[in-house]
Amino acid sequence: MHNIQKISNDLIYVGVSDRRLALFENVYPVPQGVSYNSYVLLDEKTALLDTADASVANQFFENLQAALGGRSLDYLIVNHMEPDHAALIPQLVAMYPEVEIIATAKAGQMMEQFFGRPMGRLTSVKEGDSLSLGRHQLTFTLAPMVHWPEVMMTYDSTDRVLFSADAFGTFGALGGNLYADEVDFEHQWLDEARRYYANIVGKYGVQVQNVLKKASALELKMVCPLHGPVWRQRIDWIVGKYDTWSRYEAEEQAVVVVYGSIYGHTESAAMRLATMLAERGVKDIKAYDASHTHVSTLVAECFRASHIVLASSTYNNGIFPPIETLLADLKAHAWQRRKVALIENGSWAPQSGKLMRAELEQMKDITLLGEMVSLKSALAPQQEAELETLAKAIVESLGK
Ligand code: FEO
Residues 141 and 266 in one domain: no
Q: Residue 84 C-alpha to ligand 1 middle, in angstroms? A: 6
Residues 136 and 220 reside in one and the same domain: yes
Pocket of ligand 1 (CB under 6 A): 80, 82, 84-85, 147-148, 166, 226-227
308 with 293, same domain? yes
In CATH, what number is assigned to the domain containing residue 62? 3.60.15.10
310-367 residue pLDDT tens: 999 999 999 999 999 999 999 999 999 999 999 999 999 999 999 999 999 999 999 9
15 Cα: distance to centroid of ligand 1 (angstroms):
14
Domain boundary among 246, 272, 296: 246
Indicate if 292 and 354 belong to the same structural domain.
yes
Of the three residues 186, 216, 246, the one that is the final residue of a domain is: 246
> What is the pLDDT at residue 75?
98
Same domain for 138 and 189?
Answer: yes
Q: How far is the CA of 387 from the centre of ligand 1 (A)?
A: 43
Q: What is the pLDDT of residue 276?
A: 98
CB 223 within 8 A of CB 154: no
CA of 85 to the centre of ligand 1 (A): 7
Ligand 1 closest atom vs CA 200: 2
Which domain does 228 fall in, by range? 5-246
Please indicate, yes or no, whether residues 325 and 390 belong to a single structural domain of this protein.
yes
Instruction: Report the nearest atom of ligand 1 relative to the CA of 148.
Output: 2
The verdict on 66 and 34 lying in the same domain is yes
Helices 295-304, 321-332: axis angle to 10 degrees equals 60
Ligand 1 centre distance from Cα of residue 6 (Å): 24
For residues 172 and 108, state if they share a domain: yes
Q: Do 147 and 187 have their domain in common?
A: yes
CA 139 to centroid of ligand 1, rounded, Å: 21
Domain count, the chain: 2
Structure confidence by residue, pLDDT tens digits, 215-228: 999 999 999 999 99
Whole-prediction pTM? 0.96
Profile the chain (400 residues) by mean pLDDT over runs of 10 residues.
Answer: 97 98 98 98 98 98 98 98 98 97 98 95 97 98 95 98 97 98 98 98 95 94 98 97 98 98 98 98 98 98 98 98 98 98 97 98 97 98 97 94
Residue nearest to atom 3 of ligand 1 (CA): 82
Same domain, 359 and 317: yes
Do residues 108 and 215 share a domain? yes
What atom of ligand 1 comes closest to residue 151's alpha carbon? 2
The residue from 246, 280, 297 where one domain ends is 246
pLDDT computed for residue 120 by the predictor: 87
Whole-number Å distance between alpha carbons of 202 and 200? 6
Indicate if 124 and 168 belong to the same structural domain: yes
Q: Which atom of ligand 1 is nearest to the CA of 226?
A: 1
For the CA of 36, the nearest atom of ligand 1: 1
CA of 33 to the centre of ligand 1 (A): 14
